[in-house]
Amino acid sequence: MKEKYFPAEIEEKQQQRWAEAKVFEVTEDPARKKFYCLEMLPYPSGRIHMGHVRNYSIGDALSHYQRMNGFNVLHPMGWDAFGMPAENAAIKHNARPDQWTFENIAAMRAQLKRIGFSYDWRREIASCTPEYYRWNQWFFIQMWRRGLLYRKNATVNWCVKCNTSLANEQAEGGFCWRHEDTPVVQMELEQWFIRVTNYADELLDELDNLEGGWPERVLAMQRNWIGRSQGAEVEFAIAGNESEKIRIFTTRIDTIYGANAVIVAPEHELIEELIASGQASDGLKSFVEKQSEISREERLAEGAEKQGVPTGLFAVNPFSGDELPVWTANFVLTGYGTGAIMAVPAHDERDFEFARKYGLPIPRVIKVAGSDEPDDAPVEAPFTAKDESGVLINSAQFNGLTVPEAIKIMTEYAVQRGFGRPQTNFRIRDWGVSRQRAWGTPIPFIHCPKCGIVPVPEDQLPVTLPADLNFNTQGAPLAEHASFVNTTCPNCGGAAQRDTDTMDTFVDSSWYYFRYCDPHNDELPFDPEIAAYWAPVDQYIGGIEHAVLHLIYTRLWTKIMRDLGLLSFGEPVRKLLTQGMVCLATNRCEEHEWLSPNEVIDGKCKFCERPVTIGRVEKMSKSKKNTIDPDEMIREFGSDTVRLFMLFAAPPEKDLEWDDSAVEGASRYLARVWRIVYKWHDKLSNAAEGEASPAARALRRKTHQTIRRVSHDIADRMNFNTAIAALMELTNEIYAFDNSLKDVSNATSSDRFALREAIESLVKMLAPFTPHIAEELWQGLGHNEILVASPWPQFSEALAKEDELEIPVQINGKMAARVVVAAEASNAALEQAVLNDDRVKAKIGGKQIAKVIVVPKRLVNVVVK
């Protein structure tokens, strides 16, 4: 063992030992408990960044801990390898996207191996390989057969930069998820869709079961996104043409006697008919035209002012028989519900605003239960409560019912009379999965002029991407590749054409971690029996940005796989941790804009010496140049130091600010551990438990308390920061003990026993966080077995127990004194000790003791008057 800590020398050496011993390679073993620890797979952009390092350091710490605790730990890594950057590289540098991608993968894999994460590399997958994406195609065909995949002409989100359509989830607030400055435009296109709505109820309801294992905000975001709303559809006949109906959706059928209008979206088919048949007024035509011209963002940006025009038609309220004017207005949306509503101004904010603006009547039909306000009192503000506080008035035979009763009874009434029915609507839509890109999974269908859409026979999968695509084209490279497109129909044998869309890359990541379970299977995506052993994932770790993207898709896909008979469960992830971002302050120079940390010298710009403005602490990003390169840090300090810093500086779910001094602190700590182990490593043999000095007993107590605390902090809370703090405390105790001995030769056998126990426990417990130095020190202590495959230390309650306790004493809840008592002292003895204490007596003085509250082993509060 060397005297000084040189990370570069030991890290590679220990990585080789692990690789040779295959300690991270696992197979199914029904006799052992499994633990599946998963980190979100990266896109192979070319370089690992600090966000990755943090994510994988968290997962690695947990994996090591569970492995040392006897679990059969599956800890894999792979590449989400399809997507736009490869295509952009192909266009820009005339490269091949597959070559570009595989070069990046090689570079990043080498980086991950240098950091020494405990992956089973035999299970590595890349989603751009035919061995992988063939199963995407297989899934599509299974889904097609079950009606879960379909094709329809639809208005889709289109990003002009990506030059492709996007799912709703990828068009956040009207902007492309990859180009935050690029508004999404709407486009008519025939597309492939996955029938998410079949699973909407289940996707929502099962979120309740994830409570406790998933962060509350992710659950809230998913609930929000799925957006279930229960109500009813009601048909209003058009006056004078009773065979024609307008179907409206409402969650408040109880307010229907208060409707003053029916309002349809400007895109509603009724409007189209009116325009087509020449019945539309000029005002209506120009209004509709204007609405179609302005984009979604412009509509929202215009301050959301409500605008509408009457259509000239009237509709009959099926409950009251009233004829209501039919309007069209900008705030009624096509694509949600039926694209038509009834307006009830007295009980809806929007309808109230609209009625005021256009001078429509505002009849009230609900009032506060028990109020003696007259039923025809003018409405000052809409009354929208949907609970028992509202009672129906002005509603014929339904008067007197509470709102919830009325909703139920009036819906039933509508069903009986045949003009309505209960209806549940969702905000979530079917998933548009076609992309007009070339670097993705080809959609395995053939368009035959005679037979229509025909799936590629399963024994002809995969449909592979041609290697010689031409990316320097205005159009779609796949569609222009004649030998790819032109084929024969598997059904009739006639000439036919392949589908030229590719799949959304979120398909790839929807099921990849099941493939890790059985990565080389060439008959199925995975063997259901093998998956049944490893899955579901016990702990998943990744960024919050996937809360409503990947994490909804993968829950959906799991349910589909269950229905295909591949799985026996529908929720893929037991526990989810959304780790915080890695942040750094930005620097800005007037002349040279964003500056990287090493372009700032003494607060001045390196290039022009102008003073630099320090900006906000933000997520590390290339564009703002506030990044720290993991490779540089690891070269300077070693992988262990970088990991230790990241795990110690903040709890995993919080944002982490990079701090050079704190990194040095982490490095200093490891050197400090090294020195004390070096000092004793060859002097701890022949130690016996024997009669221990008080100091040795105290050290043993600290050791066992630390084992208890660290185990709890990792396993039950994933609070690595406090676990590491506990290890630092133990280290300080070891130093104090070492100092108290003055000289190595003073140590008795039992002193050395206590020291050995403390030092060996410390080294073992460092293994999850800083595996290389721990492994090296373990060897230095004379152990031949591999530490990261050795058992976690166990603590003894008896040794962890304190002999004496220092009990705080309060007088009327304020801190007054401390008394030392035996740990076993009874409540009565404790109370007696407190009341006999001179300081306590003095503080009580002449006051009378009203009562004494004794919290065993914790505190005594004397209440005086």
Partner RNA sequence: GGGGAUGUGGCGGAACUGGUAGACGCGCGGGUCUCAAAAACCCGUUACCUCGCGGUAGUGUGGGUUCGAUUCCCACCAUCCCCACCA
* Span 180-239, contacts to RNA by CB under 7 A: 216-217, 220-221, 224-225, 227, 229, 231
Nearer to RNA by Cβ, of 142 and 706: the residue is 706
Q: If you write DSSP's letter for every residue of 682-694 in order, what string do you get?
A: TS-TT----S--H
Nearest to 496 by CA among 436, 552, 454, 559: 454
Does residue number 853 form part of the binding site for RNA (CB under 7 A)?
Answer: yes
Site for RNA in 311-350 (CB under 7 A): 330-333, 336-337, 339-341, 348, 350
Build a one-symbol-per-residue string for 782-821: x at contacts with RNA by CB under 7 A, - elsewhere.
------------------------x-x-x-xx-x--x---
Site for RNA in 541-560 (CB under 7 A): 544, 547-548
Token readout for 816 is: 């007054």
> Closest distance between RNA and the C-beta of residue 735, in Å?
4
Classify the phi-psi angles of 334: left when phi > 0, otherwise alpha if psi is within -120 to 50, otherwise beta: beta
Nearer to RNA by Cβ, of 520 and 865: the residue is 865
> Closest distance between RNA and the C-beta of residue 848, in Å?
14
Nearer to RNA by Cβ, of 270 and 656: the residue is 656
Site for RNA in 160-179 (CB under 7 A): 172-173
Does residue number 736 form part of the binding site for RNA (CB under 7 A)?
Answer: yes
Nearer to RNA by Cβ, of 78 and 382: the residue is 382
Does residue number 858 form part of the binding site for RNA (CB under 7 A)?
Answer: yes
Q: Which helix (H) or strand (E) holds 446?
A: strand 445-448
Which range of residues in 73-81, 718-726, 749-757, 827-835 is near RNA by CB under 7 A? 718-726
Nearer to RNA by Cβ, of 222 and 750: the residue is 222
> Closest distance between RNA and the C-beta of residue 483, in Å?
41
Distance between first and last Cα of the chain: 66
CA distances from 228 to 169, 190, 429, 433 (A): 16, 27, 11, 22
HSE-CB for 210 with a 13 A CA cutoff: 31
Whole-angstrom Cα distance, residue 392 to residue 257? 10
% helix, strand, coil for the chain, step of 5: 40, 20, 35
Whole-angstrom Cα distance, residue 292 to residue 277? 19
Nearer to RNA by Cβ, of 131 and 172: the residue is 172
**8 A C-beta contact, residue 466 and residue 130:** no
Does residue number 608 form part of the binding site for RNA (CB under 7 A)?
Answer: no
Does residue number 472 form part of the binding site for RNA (CB under 7 A)?
Answer: no
Does residue number 861 form part of the binding site for RNA (CB under 7 A)?
Answer: yes
Return the residue of 409, 725, 741, 844 that touches RNA, per CB under 7 A: 725
Q: Exposed, middle or buried by CB within 10 Å (0-12, 13-18, 19+), for 662?
A: middle
**Which one-letter DSSP state was computed for residue 214?**
B
> Closest distance between RNA and the C-beta of residue 241, in Å?
23
Q: If you write DSSP's letter for every residue of 48-62 in order, what string do you get?
A: --HHHHHHHHHHHHH
> Closest distance between RNA and the C-beta of residue 649, in Å?
4
Which range of residues in 468-476, 490-498, 630-638, 721-729 is near RNA by CB under 7 A? 721-729
Q: Tokens 């035919």 correspond to what residue?
A: 130
Q: If you write DSSP's letter for every residue of 114-125 in order, what string do you get?
A: HHT----GGG-E
Which range of residues in 59-67, 141-149, 474-482, 727-735 is near RNA by CB under 7 A? 727-735
> Closest distance between RNA and the C-beta of residue 227, in Å?
5
Does residue number 425 form part of the binding site for RNA (CB under 7 A)?
Answer: yes
Which range of residues in 36-44, 139-147, 593-601, 728-736 is near RNA by CB under 7 A? 728-736
Does residue number 654 form part of the binding site for RNA (CB under 7 A)?
Answer: yes
Please list, in sequence order, all residues whose beta carbon lies within 8 angstroms of the beta carbon of residue 94, skipping any fewer than 6 positions away.
471, 472
HSE-CB for 317 with a 13 A CA cutoff: 23
Backbone angles phi, psi at 124, to 5 degrees: -55, 135
Nearer to RNA by Cβ, of 138 and 354: the residue is 354
> Closest distance between RNA and the C-beta of residue 575, in Å?
17
Please list, in sequence order, all residues whose beta carbon lies within 8 angstroms of the beta carbon of residue 302, skipping any fewer than 6 positions away.
294
> Closest distance between RNA and the C-beta of residue 531, in Å?
31
Which range of residues in 35-43, 52-60, 128-136, 720-728 is near RNA by CB under 7 A? 720-728
Which range of residues in 31-39, 474-482, 591-599, 854-862 is near RNA by CB under 7 A? 854-862
Which range of residues in 412-420, 624-632, 643-651, 698-706 is near RNA by CB under 7 A? 643-651
Does residue number 732 form part of the binding site for RNA (CB under 7 A)?
Answer: yes
Whole-angstrom Cα distance, residue 368 to residue 236? 28
- Partners of residue 600 on adjacent β-strands: 605
Does residue number 855 form part of the binding site for RNA (CB under 7 A)?
Answer: yes
**Which one-letter DSSP state was computed for residue 347?**
G
Whole-angstrom Cα distance, residue 19 to residue 274? 74
492 three-class SS: coil
Does residue number 249 form part of the binding site for RNA (CB under 7 A)?
Answer: yes
Nearer to RNA by Cβ, of 243 and 739: the residue is 739
**8 A C-beta contact, residue 149 and residue 195:** yes
Please tell me the count of residues contacting RNA according to CB under 7 A. 82
Token readout for 731 is: 């280290």
Please list, in sequence order, all residues whose beta carbon lies within 8 angstroms of the beta carbon of residue 359, skipping any fewer than 6 positions away.
none
Return the residue of 651, 683, 783, 795 that touches RNA, per CB under 7 A: 651
Build a one-symbol-per-residue string for 271-310: x at contacts with RNA by CB under 7 A, - elsewhere.
----------------------------xx-x-xxxx---
Site for RNA in 19-48 (CB under 7 A): none
- Partners of residue 377 on adjacent β-strands: none
**Alpha helices, DSSP H only, in 418-498?**
482-485
Beta strands in 1-121, from DSSP E residues, in sequence order: 34-39, 72-74, 78-79
Token readout for 135 is: 């199963």
Site for RNA in 658-687 (CB under 7 A): 659, 661-662, 664-666, 668-669, 671-672, 675
Which range of residues in 86-94, 440-448, 593-601, 724-732 is near RNA by CB under 7 A? 724-732
Return the residue of 115, 159, 176, 265 that touches RNA, per CB under 7 A: 265
> Closest distance between RNA and the C-beta of residue 826, in Å?
18
Cα 442 to its chain centre, rounded Å, is 28
Nearer to RNA by Cβ, of 558 and 861: the residue is 861
Nearer to RNA by Cβ, of 18 and 737: the residue is 737
> Closest distance between RNA and the C-beta of residue 800, in Å?
13
CA distances from 41 to 64, 167, 502 (A): 19, 21, 21
